[in-house]
Amino acid sequence: MLRFTLAFLAVLGLAPAHAQTRAVPESRAQVTLSYAPVVKKAQPSVVNVYASRTERRASNPLFDDPIFRQFFGDQGSRGQTSQSLGSGVIVDASGLVITNHHVIEGMTTVKVALADRREYEADIVLRDPRTDLAVLKLKNGGTAFPAMELGDSDALEVGDIVLAIGNPFGVGQTVTQGIISALARTQVGITDYGFFIQTDAAINPGNSGGGLVDMDGRLVGLNSAIYSKSGGSIGIGFAIPVNMVKIVVAAAKGGVRQVRRPWLGANLQAVSKEIADSLGMDRPAGALVSEVLANSPAAQAGLQRGDVIVKVDGAAVDDPESFGYRMGVRQLGGTLHVGVLRRGKPSDLEVKLVAAPETPAREQIVLSGRSPFAGATIVNLSPATMEELTVEGVKDGVIIADIADNSSAAAVGLKKGDVILAVNDQKIDRTADLRAATSGRQAYWKLTVARGGQVFTTVLGG
């Protein structure tokens, strides 16, 4: 038998809005109620996002000559256009729109179409690849836009009814209905903060960035991914919880270009059955502390290697991903109350919420020339850059922060997040060391790189 929330009935005037108890429908009339009031409230805030990037490549060197182009124009250039289609949600009346980062990644031009067919150009004001979120600002000329109210994703329960609103396959704004199928999905693998709402409301390509809406018409999640072998919905969709969205939106309103989050300063790993048995735990759950960095918030709080984190501010922690999410949705400043098991006994610790320090300074450089690193952006290794680029398990080297398309670095297989340890057996400690090591031509290049906790060496021709 279907179960409806009293919050849903409240939208239709059948129960007080503050009621939270779930109840079985008492009549056929309650079962046949319409979702139209919820849609009318939420739909104006959901938008379509069109992003594009055009790259021009000359087909003949003559077309690079400004005198030649003065007479013949750009007709000899071949334009290659990349396009992306997705959805978004207006979260502030000033014209702030939240969408998925993968919708606008690498794009230079963004347009947004509202539900009433008005169209606006938009600026990308913040990118946060770690959460797959981005914030756009409509070029509105002072217009006030219909913003959607933000709910509380921690208040959701499995079985709650939700609506997914977006633009699937580019057919136009579409509403689908389903339930919360699961919460705290941590093995999806599409963001650094893997902690997703799962729903069976139909989500298809083009829905990315659209709203997952509760029965009060509030945003509770941002639709981001589906599990599908065909490319179409099979009833397994994932949404980023709105409590993570709030952090990114707050950063955009604060005028920053990058979201800064609290830093623990400890490495965590999953608790296996064998570890749980050895610690006297009744089930494998929590996040095991495998290393504590000196002078970090974890060290200052008294966290020790071998501790198992089981709670954060009273919320259960099932694995390292759920701890990362719980800490990631907290604002800098203040403290985090962490419940741990230490040698089988419970203990409570207080962790300060501070950002990772950028020591040493990043000293960013972009390498060029004829080395395998040409086109790579390099930064020094620090707690801040390691946190930003999700690097663990290294204490020396420099990090690749970005790689240009069609560059030598991309061609040889280097990746963002790689840590360069040595070049031709010369140890690399700072970005200046790598610049010096790659400044001249070499008969061969011997690269020692750390990636994903493993170190490998490769030799390339000069």
Active site residues: 102, 132, 208
Query: How far is CA 147 from its chain centroid?
Result: 22
Q: Give CA–CA dist 417/424, Å, rounded.
A: 20
Q: Give CA–CA dist 231/132, Å, rounded.
A: 20
- CA angle (241, 225, 269) in 5-degree steps: 65
DSSP per-residue string spanning 241-279: EHHHHHHHHHHHHTT-SS---B---EEEEE--HHHHHHT
Where would I find the beta strands (DSSP E) of 295-428?
A: 308-312, 315-316, 335-342, 345-352, 365-366, 376-380, 398-403, 419-423, 426-427
Q: What is the DSSP secondary structure assignment for residue 331, as one 8-state letter? A: P
Residue 11: partners with Cβ closer than 8 Å, 6 or more residues away: 37, 38, 41, 215, 216, 217
Q: Give CA–CA dist 247/240, Å, rounded.
A: 12
Cα separation of the two ends of the chain:
70
Residue 214: partners with Cβ closer than 8 Å, 6 or more residues away: 7, 151, 156, 160, 161, 162, 220
Residue 147: partners with Cβ closer than 8 Å, 6 or more residues away: 45, 90, 91, 92, 93, 96
| CA torsion angle 69 73 77 79 (round to 10) | 140
- Measured in degrees and rounded to the nearest 5, phi and psi for residue 126 equal -155, 135
Query: How far is CA 167 from its chain centroid?
Result: 21
DSSP percent split of the chain into helix, strand, coil, nearest 5? 20, 35, 45
